[in-house]
């Protein structure tokens, strides 16, 4: 079956599914809309963690065991920085630095984040379209029992330890969707919109907070399917389950479905949680993506569910 596939994604969990989609449909048919709420300035550099995770994962450059950064990375820059008493809570490998320097240079020359991202995707021959959710700055902040924290301070420096009370996306109200985002969602040729199993509160909500994106999703013709980040009553990695508890929610697919109410038509859930009793359309499969075959299987199951919904 042909047609365009749109996927909303954060970093690690999302990139696994996007890689799966690339195994089951032509990359040229795929448009990934990526969270940029984690983006920040560090040592003067523009860093876009979720876009970078996608670029590294899809090009085979990611350090999968570590869960961030590049495979075979070297650390001369970081060693030199430490010797100068530079801030060292955020690690920047030498190869990773090349991306941040080039992106920062392009932005300083008046180019957009979209243009920088497209340049990297083209340089690495990825085939698919990778669109930031917005070219405008949107910054996720978490208010925690340890005070208000910009996202990377919470996520990297504090390792998600503080209890989260609320989350906000600074700048979202003034932001515009990046070129191509609304068009992709509304394109009559789009046959499925998939929300990756990224953290719904920290990775997908920032995308939905950009004015126009939620509205376009509400008005779209294509079926919208989310892949649940819950596997066996837990999150596979990261703070999703802890965060759900702190927000007073059970770590259940019901809570995920309720969170996406009005946005999704159906939810793909893991076989370990199948007995939960969901009252929205859903399908069940093993959603744990360890191998490339797993990624392809989950991608295919999400597209099959979308096709079922479309009737
Ligand atoms: P980040 O932006 O790098 O933190 O990553 P994401 O937000 O894209 O993904 C984090 C979420 O992905 C977590 O909630 C995990 O539960 C989920 N996740 C990671 N791997 C898998 C997997 O193999 N299967 C499923 N269903 N969810 C996964």
pLDDT at 196 over 80: yes
Residue at 89 is within a domain: no
What's the structural domain count of the chain?
1
Domain that holds residue 179: 4-42+49-67+113-310
- Residue range 36-60, pLDDT digits in tens: 999 999 999 999 999 999 999 999 9
Residue 274 pLDDT? 85
198 CB less than 6 Å from ligand 1? yes
| DSSP string for residues in the chain | --SEEEEEE-SHHHHHHHHHHHHHS-GGGEEEEE--TT-EEETTEEE-HHHHHHHHHHTT-B-TTTTSSBTT---HHHHHHHHTT---SS---HHHHHHHHHHHHHHHTT--HHHHHHHHHHHTT--SEEEESBSS--EEEEEETTEEEEHHIIIIISTT-SPEEEEEEETGGG--BPTTHHHHHH-TTEEEEEE-SS-IIIIIHHHHTSTTHHHHHHH-SS-EEEE-SEETTEESSTTHHHHHHHTT--SSHHHHHHHTTTT-SEEEEEGGGGGG--SS-EEEE-----SHHHHHHHHHHHHHHHHHHH-
Residue at 193 is within a domain: yes
pLDDT bucket at 126, cuts 50 / 70 / 90:
very high
pLDDT bucket at 276, cuts 50 / 70 / 90:
confident
* Positive or negative torsion for Cα 230, 234, 236, 241: positive
- Burial code (b: 16+ CB inside 10 Å, e: under 16) for 8-40 equals bbbbbbbbbbbbbbbebbebebbbbbbbbbbbb
Residue at 248 is within a domain: yes
Q: Return mean pLDDT, the chain.
A: 96
129 CB less than 6 Å from ligand 1? no
Q: What span, in angstroms and rounded, lies between the C-alpha atoms of 58 and 43?
A: 27
Residue at 102 is within a domain: no
pLDDT at 239 over 90: yes
pLDDT bucket at 67, cuts 50 / 70 / 90:
confident
Q: Cα(243) to centroid of ligand 1, in Å?
A: 13
271 CB less than 6 Å from ligand 1? no
pLDDT bucket at 1, cuts 50 / 70 / 90:
low
Residue 56 pLDDT? 98
Q: Cα(100) to centroid of ligand 1, in Å?
A: 24
- Residue range 251-273, pLDDT digits in tens: 999 999 999 999 999 999 999 99
144 CB less than 6 Å from ligand 1? no
What is the average per-residue pLDDT within 75-91?
96
Residue at 80 is within a domain: no
Q: Which numbered atom of ligand 1 lies nearest the CA of 35?
A: 2
- 191: phi then psi, degrees, rounded to nearest 5: -100, -15
pLDDT at 277 over 90: no
CATH number at residue 169: 3.40.50.10680
Residue at 242 is within a domain: yes
Residue at 108 is within a domain: no
């Amino acid at each position: 079956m042909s047609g365009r596939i749109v996927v909303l994604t954060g970093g690690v969990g999302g990139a696994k599914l996007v890689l799966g989609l690339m195994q089951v449909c032509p990359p040229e048919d795929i448009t990934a809309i990526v969270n940029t709420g984690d983006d920040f300035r560090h040592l003067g550099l523009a860093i876009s963690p979720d876009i970078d995770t996608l670029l590294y994962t899809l090009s085979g450059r990611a350090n999968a065991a570590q869960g961030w950064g590049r495979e075979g990375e070297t650390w001369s820059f970081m060693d030199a920085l430490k010797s100068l008493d530079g801030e060292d809570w955020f690690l920047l490998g030498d190869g990773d630095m090349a991306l941040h320097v080039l992106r920062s240079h392009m932005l300083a020359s008046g180019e957009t984040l979209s243009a920088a991202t497209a340049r990297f995707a083209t340089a690495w021959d990825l085939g698919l379209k990778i669109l930031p959710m917005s070219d405008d700055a949107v910054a996720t902040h978490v208010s925690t029992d340890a005070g208000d924290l910009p996202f990377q301070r919470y996520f990297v420096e504090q390792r998600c330890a503080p209890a989260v009370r609320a989350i906000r996306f600074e700048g979202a109200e003034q932001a515009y969707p990046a070129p191509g985002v609304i068009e992709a969602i509304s394109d009559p040729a789009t046959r499925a919109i998939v929300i990756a199993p990224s953290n719904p509160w920290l990775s997908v909500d920032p995308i939905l907070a950009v004015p126009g994106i939620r509205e376009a999703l509400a008005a779209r013709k294509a079926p919208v399917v989310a892949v649940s980040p819950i596997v066996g009553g837990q999150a596979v990695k990261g703070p999703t389950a802890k965060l759900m508890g702190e927000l007073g929610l059970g770590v259940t697919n019901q809570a995920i479905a309720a969170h996406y109410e009005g946005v999704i038509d159906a939810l793909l859930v893991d076989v370990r949680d199948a007995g939960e009793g969901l009252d929205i359309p859903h399908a069940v499969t093993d959603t744990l993506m360890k191998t490339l075959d797993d990624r392809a299987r989950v991608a295919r199951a999400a597209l099959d569910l979308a096709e079922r919904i479309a009737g």
